[in-house]
Each structure stands twice: as C-alpha cells, then as structure tokens.
Amino acid sequence: MIGSWELALIVLSAVIVTVYGIVVGLFLLGIDRKLAAHMQARVGPPIRQPFIDLRKLLIKENVVPDNAIAWIFNLAPVVALASSIVILLYLPIGSIYPPLGAYGDLILVMYLLTIPALCMVAGGFASGSPYASIGAQREMVTMIAYEFPLAIVVVAVAWRLAAAGIQDPFTLGSIAAHPIWSVAGPLGIVGGLLLLLVMAAVTPAELSRIPFDTQEAETELAGGLLVEYSGKNLAMFSLSQGVKTLVMAAIVVAIFIPWNISSLVLLPEGVALVADLLFFLGKVILVMFFSVSLVRVAMARFQINQVVSVFWIYLGLIGLVGLLLLMADAALPAAGVII
C-alpha cells in the first residue's frame, strides 16, 4: 500500500516533471529548427518559436469537421499529450529518480510509446478527411515496422545485463547503474554500438520526422494526419510532439549513456543535482542532433514501402547482429576464452 505522504510526493514529483517535460520539449523543438536552419545556411526562427506558436494556437478556436466523429477527434490530442507525459514519469532525468520508476520498466515504456501514435491514427480516421485517413494508414504501417528493431534493442541490452548477473535487467534503474559498456567485452561493445545505431534510426520514426514522415508528407497529403486539426487540439499535438522528443532522447540516454557528472566528480548535493540536470540536457540535445536534426537535413523522405524494408530488413538485421555479438561476448568468458 502507498502511504498518503508517498502518494503526495509522487503527485508533486509528477507535476514538476510534467512542467519540465513540456518546457524542455518545446525548447528541443526550437533547437532542432535552429540547428537545421544553420546547416542549410539559413538564419532560422528563434529558439523560442515553438512557445510563440503554442501561444497562438491556444487562443484560436477548435474547428471540427462536419463529418468527423467529434468526441474521438477532440479526445485524441488529449490522450496523446497525457500518454507522452506519463512515459516521462518512468524515465530518469539526470540524477533524479523518476516518480513512477518503481512501478514500471522498459517493457511498459515500449507499450506506452505506442499510445501517442495510436491517438494520431484515431484522430486521423475520426476527422473524416481522405488525406488524414491515408496518413493514419501510413502511421500504422510505420509503427508496425519500427517496433521490431526497437524490441531487439531492448531485449538485447536486458539479456546481456541478465547474463552478467544483474538483477531486474529490464528496469531503467538497473540499466543506469550497470551500463552495457561496463559489463561487455570488445565483442559486446561492437554489438552495443550497432544497437545504438538502430536506436538512433528508430528515434526519428517514433517522432514522425524525416526520412520517416510519410504519414504527414505535406507535398503528398497536405499535412496528412493533422490536416483537419487547429486551435487547442493542434496545440496539444504539438506539445505531445515536444514531450515525446524529450522522451525518445531520454530513453537513448538511459540505455546507452546514463552517466552523471556527480558520479564522476565529487560535488555538493545541490550543485550535483543542477550539474546532473544540465549534463542530462546536454546529452539529450546531442542525441537529438545526431538522430533527428542531422538526419532530416541530410536525407530525403522515404516512400512508405521503403520504410518497411529499412526497418524489417536492414535495421532488423543490424539489430540481430548486435544481439548475436552480445551473446557471443557473454559466452566467451564462460568458455574460458580470453580476448
């Protein structure tokens, strides 16, 4: 049973993490646009532009199409934002233990990651627009495609930790306390790098970014899934996108680069907390730059049939090779082989 004080602490922590997630998520969207603009030799909008856009959307009215299923159309963005925030409550932020960290692990996080995408699908179908319906179909295909390599990454990392004798290998606390680089040998490190590559490729697909944004392709579908959304509903989808950007980067950080400044340098408690938060934000920006900003500037959009091939064939094979290398790395010491 959860005591009243513990429940109050969880609620307070959830509120703080929610505000932090929304602010940092919009901040990341602004940085992404600014970085992409500079790489294309443009000035670009100010970093605060997502905050300006959000304020404009919040003061506009919602327009619901006449042939839409209104309650699904209006509920979808609310659930998408709420589910994105809930995922963040299971993820460590710097040296701060997540409010719900004791009640879930990576398997639960994987399930929760599908909810914002399913909400966009439901909203697209409920809008009654043919463009949004095509976008919803493409979103479902993309979601089915990237779930396979994502599952390989999670299972491979957890399996290697379990082989090293780590308790509860699927929990983010265990992964953060025992990074895969600290338990793996040379073969395992190579396998881990391959899995990191797969995770970096899954991230823009989860965020519906180039080259995996076929469901929102403006030149083909006039905006796709969100073509009929406006006002506060579109604002909530934008907030969901920002929070999910933070979520995906935080997952990569938690699995592959979980170290904190306070674990490397002795600092006073208050200073250590701030230093770890800033270091975490730096790692998140680094992940976003390489997996989202750089990719969308350097690449063009895939066709929907190419998306399935990329994830199920190429990234799936790379992930399986990484898994096999981790398995071989665990088996070599048991066989008495010294590398």
Taking alpha carbons only, the member of 146, 160, 152 closest to residue 291 is 146
Helices (H) and strands (E) in the chain, counts: 14, 0
Distance CA 262, CA 152 (A): 31
User: Which of residues 168 and 78 earns the better pLDDT score?
Assistant: 78
- pLDDT computed for residue 3 by the predictor: 65
The mean per-residue pLDDT over the stretch 300-314 comes to 87
Taking alpha carbons only, the member of 123, 118, 106, 109 closest to residue 143 is 118
Judged against a pLDDT cut of 60, whether residue 221 lies above it is answered with: no
**Tens digits of per-residue pLDDT, 41-65?**
888 899 999 999 999 999 988 888 8
Distance CA 98, CA 13 (A): 8
* Residue extents of the structural domains in the chain: 4-334
8-state DSSP, 128: T
- pLDDT computed for residue 301 by the predictor: 82
Tell me if 77 sits within 8 A of 237, measured CB to CB: yes
Name the 3-class secondary structure at 96. Answer: strand
Judged against a pLDDT cut of 70, whether residue 333 lies above it is answered with: no
Judged against a pLDDT cut of 90, whether residue 250 lies above it is answered with: yes
Distance CA 265, CA 282 (A): 17
**Tens digits of per-residue pLDDT, 65-90?**
888 899 999 999 999 999 999 999 99
**Could you count the other beta carbons within 10 Å of the beta carbon of residue 43?**
8
Judged against a pLDDT cut of 60, whether residue 188 lies above it is answered with: yes
- The gap between the terminal CA atoms of the chain, to the nearest Å, is 49
Task: Tell me the pLDDT of the chain averaged across its residues.
Answer: 87
Amino acid at 90: Y
The mean per-residue pLDDT over the stretch 304-320 comes to 90
Distance CA 313, CA 144 (A): 13
Q: Model pTM?
A: 0.91
Hey, what's the torsion of the CAs at 297, 255, 18, 9, to 10 degrees? -170
Q: Where does the pLDDT of residue 338 fall: very low under 50, low under 70, confident under 90, or very high at 90 and above?
A: very low
Taking alpha carbons only, the member of 322, 330, 328, 327 closest to residue 164 is 330
- pLDDT computed for residue 216 by the predictor: 75
Q: What are phi and psi of 96, to 5 degrees?
A: -85, 125
Give the count of alpha carbons within 13 A of 28, CB side only.
33
Inter-helix orientation angle 106-126/70-88, to 10°:
160
- pLDDT computed for residue 339 by the predictor: 43
The mean per-residue pLDDT over the stretch 107-133 comes to 89
Name the 3-class secondary structure at 36. Answer: helix
Tell me if 260 sits within 8 A of 268, measured CB to CB: no
